[in-house]
Amino acid sequence: MNILVTGANGQLGTWIGRLAEGSADRYILTDVAELDITSREAVRDMVHREEVDVIINCAAFTDVEGAEDRPELAELLNAGAPGILAEAIKERDGLLVHISTDYVFGGEFLNTPCKEDVKGSPTGVYGLTKLHGEQAVMSSGCKYVIIRTAWLYSETGKNFVRTMLRLTAEKPSLNVVFDQVGTPTYARDLAAAILDIVENRKYEGNTGIYHFSNEGVCSWYDFAREIAEIAGNGACDIRPCHSSEFPSKVRRPAYSVLDKSLIKSTFGTVVPYWKDSLRECIANIQSL
């Protein structure tokens, strides 16, 4: 198969590229320099020229607060571009794997893990544009696997783990919110799940929306404490605080734990526990 990856320089795209090394399938790794996914002509040309069978769309406008200031750009990248990719791969009768987010939720009150059929009610521009992206893919008529994920981190890029590693090493104390609950996701684990679905063609007859994050539940406060403990930065006094103590342009989901039953039962996906994956990621960072 010929597999086109967009956003290949991001956290998820980087791990897909690493895990794809030595694959029997051919991966075409692109980022903004190689492919403008907002250009219908450019996308269609590459998809047909490279005889693409699968697109894995990792590209997105992910600056949650920045989206409030640049809603048109967020809509273009998070909704317009996925629609263009869907149209192009439909012409090849191929598959689009599109990455979405727990931010499509937030307006509803949840206290149990969220299933795929819960209606989205985003509370900000980022979540709204990602929901529009899902809708664009589904309405295109292409074969698709939409995977919603949450709290993504890796050894590279801007993410909570790397930020906390730095701050807990530098500062004597930190305040971290405890009233937002979810589950972290190690980019490597999500990349491995995607490659298993794609390379083993498990998607055939199983298109739809799925959820993937690591197993378990925690608050950002719990997450920060675990990062500091693993890294040996226990001298930093991490204190719980309310979200209201950090004024923001966006109201983030208070509870966005994703139910992963469907992806496990459909594809046989094995989902690691969040603390185990966090230890591996931090060990990799510390070995650099």
Per-residue pLDDT tens for 79-106? Answer: 999 999 999 999 999 999 999 999 999 8
Least confident stretch, 46-55, 101-110, 131-140: 101-110
- For residue 248, pLDDT beyond 90: no
Provide the whole-model pTM. Answer: 0.97
Mean pLDDT of the chain: 96
- Which of the residues are catalytic? 126
Domain boundaries, the chain: 2-154+184-214+257-272
User: DSSP letters along 176-221, please?
Assistant: EE-S-EE--EEHHHHHHHHHHHHHTTTTTT--EEEE---BS-EEHH
Six-digit token string for 10: 């991001």
- For residue 165, pLDDT beyond 90: yes
**Of 157, 288, 164, 275, nearest in space to 218 by CA:** 275
- For residue 109, pLDDT beyond 90: no
- For residue 119, pLDDT beyond 90: no
**What's the mean pLDDT in 112-118?**
93
**Of 256, 255, 273, nearest in space to 211 by CA:** 256
pLDDT value for 249:
79
Q: Which CATH number fits domain 2-154+184-214+257-272: 1.20.1250.20, 3.40.50.720, 3.40.50.450, 3.10.150.10?
A: 3.40.50.720
Provide the phi-psi class of 141: left if phi over 0, else alpha when psi is between -120 and 50, else beta: left
Per-residue pLDDT tens for 23-44? Answer: 999 999 999 999 999 999 999 9
